[in-house]
Amino acid sequence: MEQQPLNEIRQLLQQKIFGHKCVDNFNVYSRSVFNRLHMCHTAGIGVHHLKCNKTSCGNEYYQYHSCGDRHCPNCGGLKKEQWLQDRMSELLPTSYYHIVFTLPQELRSVVMGNRTALFNLLFDAGHHTINRLSADKKWLGAKPGIVSILHTNGQDLSFHPHIHCIVSGGGINAAGNWVKEKRSNGHYLYPRAKMEKEYKLYFLKMLQKLLEQQKLRITDVTALKKCIEQLAKIRWNVHANAPFGGPAQILEYLGRYTHKTAITAHRIKEITGTTITFTYKDYADGKKQKPMTLSHEKFAERFEQHILPKRFVKIRHGGYLAHNGKNKRIEAIHQQLSLPKPMPKIIIPFSLQMLQRTGTDYTLCPTCKEGKMEIIASYLNHNGRLVNIKDLNRRPKKNKASPPI
């Protein structure tokens, strides 16, 4: 099957899926996300009024705003580039390993109903496992750097929560000194069986605690207790991979996964009046690419499963990369290893990012090809009307009511 043109796919995705009537059945926050995705690059979000700065040209046109939502298949690319640029100064001359913490299928329905609490527990259990094993001098005797990323979907848009962790081979000890990695012969950072056992014990222990504290929305407590007993007897999968080849490979990997949405337009082959067809990798069949066709309603329902809780942090840092004091620790490591000072973080202008990604200078006037397009006004959708941002900023604040006497 040949793919429909990408622009057509994106338009149909917005109109047929994100604007589908079944969205009315979702919760308030999910509806707001679908609405933003439906309005992306339309006047429903806002618009820039641009004008060529060359006097003899003066061409004017309007450019619609993007929604900027992290779930949007059309947005996020530029945020990803800036995020990767910021990570450059944090890479050190040590190996980096890839570890994936998954959950047994039996827990997925429980997680679905308690996303914030159990997504947080998934991060906590993964970081606990890494830090616990790293503290053992047999493996490292120090705190490594950890970058962890939550994913919730399988290739077929099924609900499959797991976290990807990038872990440094070396770390810093209690005295603040750099400790070189001890398993530098291409093997995994820690024995896989030990990771799986530690991860399982911690997750189930904390799950039991949440249950006892009545912090979970559960319809059948007895059934969950029995499930926990059964899950304690089986092996939990932790996928561990050999170290990355170098900084370029690490950034290439992170670039694929950090700002990943549930699906991209490139995987969608066709959208008809009633169905949507996309490709997925069937891991049970040798990673073969296969097509899947769903009704618009079913696709929207699967997509909605992967809308993260409001303000939920899906990329987290641990060990010496934990945010509190991170820059000082990185500088200290550079001094100990006689490395140049970390490069200062640079904010890449939007126009330069687009030039790097596409090779096109979007500030160049499309009419005269010489002048630069400048923003002369910006409008936002305010209560159903496009309002100049300057006018919004000028509006006087309402006086607070006088306190009762």
pLDDT in tens, the chain (405 residues): 566 766 677 788 888 888 888 899 999 999 999 999 998 888 889 999 999 999 999 899 898 888 889 998 877 666 777 777 778 778 888 889 999 999 999 999 999 999 999 999 999 999 999 999 999 999 999 999 999 999 999 899 999 999 999 999 999 999 999 999 886 555 578 889 999 999 999 999 999 999 999 999 999 999 999 999 999 999 999 998 877 777 778 877 777 777 778 888 888 899 999 999 999 999 888 889 999 999 999 999 999 999 999 999 999 999 999 989 998 999 999 999 998 887 777 666 666 666 666 677 878 898 999 999 999 999 998 887 888 888 776 655 555 444 443
**Number of CB atoms found within 10 A of residue 73's CB:** 23
pLDDT for the residue 343? 72
Indicate the pairing of strand 238-241 with strand 159-172: unpaired
pLDDT for the residue 123? 98
pLDDT for the residue 73? 82
- Domain co-membership, 20 together with 139: no
**For residue 44, which of 388, 377, 376, 386 has the smallest C-alpha distance?**
386
- Domain co-membership, 119 together with 193: yes
CA 270 to CA 262: how far, in whole Å?
A: 17
What residue numbers bound the domain in which 385 lies? 6-71+363-394
- Domain co-membership, 98 together with 178: yes
CB 276 within 8 A of CB 299: yes
* Domain assignment present for 78: no
β strands within 154-215, DSSP E: 159-172, 178-179
CA 220 to CA 181: how far, in whole Å?
A: 46
pLDDT for the residue 287? 87
Q: Residue 169's domain is classified under what CATH number?
A: 3.40.1310
- Domain co-membership, 30 together with 64: yes
- Domain co-membership, 114 together with 246: yes
* Domain assignment present for 277: no
- Domain co-membership, 124 together with 236: yes
pLDDT for the residue 56? 92
| Alpha-carbon 165 to chain mean position | 13
pLDDT for the residue 113? 94
pLDDT for the residue 280? 93
Domain count, the chain: 2
* Domain assignment present for 330: yes
* Domain assignment present for 405: no
For residue 8, the SS3 value is: helix
- Domain co-membership, 32 together with 105: no
- Domain co-membership, 93 together with 172: yes
**For residue 49, which of 61, 40, 58 has the smallest C-alpha distance?**
61
Please report the DSSP string for 189-200 in residue order.
SS-HHHHHHHHH
- Domain co-membership, 255 together with 124: yes
* Domain assignment present for 229: yes
- Domain co-membership, 136 together with 168: yes
- Domain co-membership, 314 together with 233: yes
CA 355 to CA 28: how far, in whole Å?
A: 38
Q: What is the greatest pairwise CA distance in the chain?
A: 78
Sequence-distant (6+) residues with CB within 8 A of 341 are: 331, 334
- Residue 190's alpha-carbon distances to 241, 291, 318, 382, in angstroms, are 10, 38, 17, 54
For residue 57, the SS3 value is: coil
pLDDT for the residue 402? 40
* Domain assignment present for 295: no
CB 99 within 8 A of CB 91: no
Task: Please give the model's pTM, rounded to 2 decimal places.
Answer: 0.88
- Domain co-membership, 240 together with 377: no
